[in-house]
Amino acid sequence: MRRFLFFILIIGSLISCRKKINVPDDSLQNLFGTWNWQYTFEKDGGYSTPTTVGADYKRIYTDKGRFEYHKGSSTQQKLNYDFATSTSSKYKFAVEYWHRTFSNDTRSTENIHFSGDTLFITQSCDTCYIEVYTKAK
């Protein structure tokens, strides 16, 4: 019984150990941490804020390639992510998210840009929307 528990403990610790993701540019280190949503500019000219939608949103990026998206205190998504080269002429880098299940592998990509402690995010279509986040202190 003791050997079985030891084996389970070893397997659990190996599964939970994740290496840090490869960061292709030092400026991308800034992504790690918590980001609070400030506003969104939409394709049709619309403008959303936490006040207009009645909710606070935040993104959390770890240096081990884990991403969480929260609405208020509720976790909406938990995904893996990695850095990619943006296909947009306006953005240098992108973040590729994926969720693996036994039956499929779902992927999506967003372009990212930093200006100080401000994070700008767009879909790969560039003009669909621009979300603006500020880094939590």
Q: Which CATH number goes with the domain that contains 87?
A: 2.40.128.280
Q: Does 2 fall in a domain?
A: no
Q: Does 4 fall in a domain?
A: no
- How high is the pLDDT of residue 3? 65
Q: What angle do CA 90, 99, 59 make, to 5 degrees?
A: 55
Q: Does 70 fall in a domain?
A: yes
Q: Does 101 fall in a domain?
A: yes
Q: Does 25 fall in a domain?
A: yes
Please tell me the total count of domains within the chain. 1
Per-residue pLDDT of the chain (137 residues; tens, 9 = 90+): 666 554 554 555 444 566 889 899 988 999 999 999 999 998 888 899 999 999 999 999 999 999 999 999 999 999 999 999 888 878 889 999 887 666 667 788 899 999 999 999 987 665 678 999 999 98
CA–CA dist 129, 78 (Å, integer): 22
Q: Does 3 fall in a domain?
A: no
| Composition of the chain by helix, strand, coil, percent to 5 | 20, 50, 35
Q: Does 126 fall in a domain?
A: yes
- How high is the pLDDT of residue 107? 83
β-strand partners of 57: 71
- How high is the pLDDT of residue 14? 47
- What's the domain range around 92? 20-135
Q: Does 5 fall in a domain?
A: no
Phi and psi at 120, nearest 5°, equal -110, 130
